[in-house]
Amino acid sequence: MTLTALKPQAQPAHRFPIRVYYEDTDAGGIVYYANYLKFAERARTEMLREAGFHHTAMMQGEGIVLAVRRCAAEYMKPAKLDDMLDVETQVTGLGAATIDLDQSIRRGPDELCRVTVTIACVGRDGRPVRLPAPLRHVLSTDTSDKK
Protein backbone atom coordinates (compact mmCIF):
# COMPACT_ATOMS: atom_id res chain seq x y z
CA MET A 1 0.00 0.00 0.00
CA THR A 2 1.35 3.42 -0.94
CA LEU A 3 1.14 6.50 1.24
CA THR A 4 -0.86 8.56 -1.24
CA ALA A 5 -3.67 10.75 -0.02
CA LEU A 6 -7.12 9.19 0.02
CA LYS A 7 -9.70 10.76 -2.24
CA PRO A 8 -12.98 11.33 -0.41
CA GLN A 9 -16.23 10.23 -1.97
CA ALA A 10 -17.96 12.97 -3.90
CA GLN A 11 -19.91 15.25 -1.63
CA PRO A 12 -21.63 18.54 -2.25
CA ALA A 13 -19.58 21.67 -1.77
CA HIS A 14 -20.19 23.52 1.49
CA ARG A 15 -21.47 27.03 0.86
CA PHE A 16 -20.93 29.98 3.17
CA PRO A 17 -22.30 33.49 2.42
CA ILE A 18 -20.24 36.58 3.19
CA ARG A 19 -21.07 40.24 2.71
CA VAL A 20 -18.20 42.58 1.83
CA TYR A 21 -17.92 45.31 4.47
CA TYR A 22 -16.02 48.59 4.35
CA GLU A 23 -13.28 47.08 6.58
CA ASP A 24 -12.63 44.42 3.90
CA THR A 25 -11.79 46.95 1.20
CA ASP A 26 -8.99 49.26 0.21
CA ALA A 27 -9.39 52.98 -0.47
CA GLY A 28 -10.93 52.19 -3.87
CA GLY A 29 -13.69 49.99 -2.46
CA ILE A 30 -12.05 46.79 -3.74
CA VAL A 31 -11.51 43.80 -1.42
CA TYR A 32 -7.90 43.75 -0.24
CA TYR A 33 -6.23 40.57 -1.56
CA ALA A 34 -5.41 39.06 1.88
CA ASN A 35 -9.05 39.29 2.96
CA TYR A 36 -10.01 36.55 0.50
CA LEU A 37 -7.91 34.22 2.68
CA LYS A 38 -9.91 35.39 5.73
CA PHE A 39 -13.15 34.64 3.88
CA ALA A 40 -11.85 31.16 3.02
CA GLU A 41 -10.82 30.55 6.65
CA ARG A 42 -14.26 31.50 7.94
CA ALA A 43 -15.91 29.16 5.44
CA ARG A 44 -13.63 26.23 6.44
CA THR A 45 -14.35 26.87 10.11
CA GLU A 46 -18.10 26.91 9.52
CA MET A 47 -17.93 23.75 7.39
CA LEU A 48 -16.24 21.94 10.29
CA ARG A 49 -18.61 23.47 12.86
CA GLU A 50 -21.66 22.31 10.87
CA ALA A 51 -20.13 18.81 10.76
CA GLY A 52 -19.85 18.85 14.58
CA PHE A 53 -16.17 19.75 14.92
CA HIS A 54 -15.54 22.98 16.81
CA HIS A 55 -11.97 24.26 17.02
CA THR A 56 -12.27 25.00 20.74
CA ALA A 57 -13.53 21.49 21.54
CA MET A 58 -10.76 19.89 19.47
CA MET A 59 -8.14 21.99 21.28
CA GLN A 60 -9.54 21.33 24.75
CA GLY A 61 -10.60 17.71 24.21
CA GLU A 62 -8.14 16.03 21.88
CA GLY A 63 -5.40 18.63 22.24
CA ILE A 64 -5.22 19.18 18.49
CA VAL A 65 -5.45 22.15 16.16
CA LEU A 66 -5.83 22.42 12.43
CA ALA A 67 -3.21 24.70 10.90
CA VAL A 68 -2.67 25.86 7.34
CA ARG A 69 0.35 24.06 5.90
CA ARG A 70 0.11 25.27 2.32
CA CYS A 71 -2.08 27.81 0.56
CA ALA A 72 -2.29 29.17 -2.97
CA ALA A 73 -4.71 31.78 -4.28
CA GLU A 74 -5.62 32.78 -7.81
CA TYR A 75 -7.46 36.07 -8.24
CA MET A 76 -9.69 36.46 -11.30
CA LYS A 77 -12.05 39.38 -10.62
CA PRO A 78 -12.37 41.93 -7.81
CA ALA A 79 -15.05 41.85 -5.14
CA LYS A 80 -16.37 45.24 -4.11
CA LEU A 81 -17.96 46.97 -1.16
CA ASP A 82 -21.44 45.58 -0.34
CA ASP A 83 -21.08 42.56 -2.66
CA MET A 84 -22.75 39.37 -1.45
CA LEU A 85 -20.30 36.49 -1.92
CA ASP A 86 -20.46 32.72 -1.53
CA VAL A 87 -17.46 30.65 -0.51
CA GLU A 88 -17.72 27.09 -1.79
CA THR A 89 -15.49 24.57 -0.03
CA GLN A 90 -14.79 21.06 -1.31
CA VAL A 91 -12.62 18.42 0.38
CA THR A 92 -10.36 16.98 -2.33
CA GLY A 93 -8.04 14.70 -0.39
CA LEU A 94 -7.14 13.27 2.99
CA GLY A 95 -3.69 12.27 4.17
CA ALA A 96 -2.77 10.71 7.50
CA ALA A 97 -2.56 14.15 9.13
CA THR A 98 -3.75 16.48 6.35
CA ILE A 99 -6.87 17.72 4.61
CA ASP A 100 -6.74 19.12 1.06
CA LEU A 101 -9.45 21.56 0.04
CA ASP A 102 -10.46 23.62 -2.97
CA GLN A 103 -12.32 26.84 -2.24
CA SER A 104 -14.03 29.12 -4.69
CA ILE A 105 -15.17 32.63 -3.80
CA ARG A 106 -18.03 33.67 -6.05
CA ARG A 107 -20.33 36.57 -6.71
CA GLY A 108 -23.30 34.95 -8.37
CA PRO A 109 -22.00 32.86 -11.27
CA ASP A 110 -18.65 34.70 -11.40
CA GLU A 111 -15.64 33.09 -9.75
CA LEU A 112 -13.56 35.86 -8.19
CA CYS A 113 -10.88 33.89 -6.35
CA ARG A 114 -9.82 30.24 -6.11
CA VAL A 115 -7.93 28.99 -3.05
CA THR A 116 -6.28 25.60 -2.67
CA VAL A 117 -5.22 24.78 0.85
CA THR A 118 -3.69 21.93 2.82
CA ILE A 119 -4.59 21.82 6.51
CA ALA A 120 -2.39 19.88 8.93
CA CYS A 121 -3.57 18.34 12.19
CA VAL A 122 -1.03 19.10 14.92
CA GLY A 123 -0.81 18.24 18.62
CA ARG A 124 0.01 20.41 21.61
CA ASP A 125 3.71 20.00 20.89
CA GLY A 126 3.27 21.39 17.36
CA ARG A 127 4.05 18.06 15.69
CA PRO A 128 1.73 16.43 13.14
CA VAL A 129 -0.79 13.91 14.48
CA ARG A 130 -3.27 11.68 12.68
CA LEU A 131 -6.67 13.12 11.89
CA PRO A 132 -9.20 11.90 14.46
CA ALA A 133 -11.22 8.98 13.05
CA PRO A 134 -14.61 10.74 13.44
CA LEU A 135 -13.35 13.79 11.54
CA ARG A 136 -11.83 11.61 8.82
CA HIS A 137 -15.14 9.74 8.51
CA VAL A 138 -17.20 12.91 8.14
CA LEU A 139 -14.82 14.39 5.58
CA SER A 140 -14.51 11.21 3.51
CA THR A 141 -18.20 10.28 3.15
CA ASP A 142 -21.20 11.89 1.59
CA THR A 143 -22.74 14.07 4.30
CA SER A 144 -25.54 15.57 2.21
CA ASP A 145 -28.22 13.56 4.07
CA LYS A 146 -26.90 14.24 7.62
CA LYS A 147 -28.47 17.67 8.19
Q: Catalytic residue positions? A: 26
Phi, psi of 28 (to 5 degrees): -90, 5
DSSP string, 28-54: TSBBPTTHHHHHHHHHHHHHHHHTT--
- Separation CA 38–CA 43 (nearest Å): 9
Phi, psi of 14 (to 5 degrees): -80, 140
CA geometry: angle at 91 spanning 89 and 57, to 5°? Answer: 85
